[in-house]
Chain A
């Protein structure tokens, strides 16, 4: 089975721009979670989507948003980029059985640099 894929792998943007990152989960996985990793804050949970609905949300401003499509693929969007948004953005997918989420499988991440 193919693993979790994320595109693009690297991205450079300038302050004030917006960006969309994409995540394709493992086939059959219905839950997709997003995380931000920075040297200062470590790995932080952004949000989780299941069946096209946001099921969990972390403590991030409204500039961070996401969505999930009917094929479980997910995108996250960051608007009005700030220098502090420079980070590795990780996507993870999980099986969901009887409403319970299994272990997460992470993608390689998208490295976003904001200049």
Chain B
């Protein structure tokens, strides 16, 4: 399983874009990059995932570098409800039933 490195914590002003980086330099060719978040005392919530190309959905955008060694999750207009721990998780499509969570990044959105 690929190892990940994420900042322990980040702050973001409400209404501004939140850019959360993740380093996954040992990712293998068949591993997707998944992002989940966990709001305090709730179960984790799926955000987005990608393999090579950049992806966008109603929640966020995912930018993956060309060498796939790192990625950035972008919340375009952060709100107070986006305050959570964000996890970057490499996983193969045949193994997403077994997610290996790291320590994640605690994002604090401030008014």
Contacts and interface: CB of A to CB of B under 8 A. Distances in A.
Provide the main secondary structure of the chain B interface: loop
A101 B97 contact: yes
Contacts of B49: 103
Interface string B65-109: 000000000000000000000010000011111111111100000
A48 B98 contact: yes
B43 interface: yes
Interface residues of B, number: 22
A24 interface: no
21 contacts: A31-B97, A33-B97, A33-B99, A35-B101, A42-B103, A44-B101, A45-B99, A48-B97, A48-B98, A50-B97, A56-B98, A90-B43, A90-B44, A92-B99, A94-B96, A94-B97, A101-B96, A104-B44, A104-B97, A104-B99, A105-B46
Interface of B: 34, 36, 38, 42-46, 49, 87, 93-104
